[in-house]
Amino acid sequence: MMIGYRARKRLSLLVLLVGLPLYIVVAVTAVDWLDAAWGHPPFWVEILVYVALGFLWLWPCKALFTGIGQPDPDQTQRRRP
């Protein structure tokens, strides 16, 4: 089932405004849990974990965000005479 352009645009906005902040909270909580479980890691390891988690949220949403900045392909273009 293909999702329409307008629905995909609205869903991507919902993901960015609601899902991404929730994911940030989960990622910081996970890093804090790792800190409590195994002690504080070196700075560079912590940066690598945050960078990996930063790319991890985008992977499942890649298809959703593809082509969102382009004009609506379903809408017919009106030409001026």
- Going from N- to C-terminal start, the domains of the chain cover 26-66
Rounded to two decimals, the pTM is 0.74
Torsion of CA 48, 50, 55, 60, to 10 degrees: 130
Q: What is the pLDDT of residues 29-71, one digit of tens each?
A: 988 998 899 988 888 988 998 999 989 988 888 888 888 888 8
Question: Residue 47: phi, psi to the nearest 5?
Answer: -65, -45
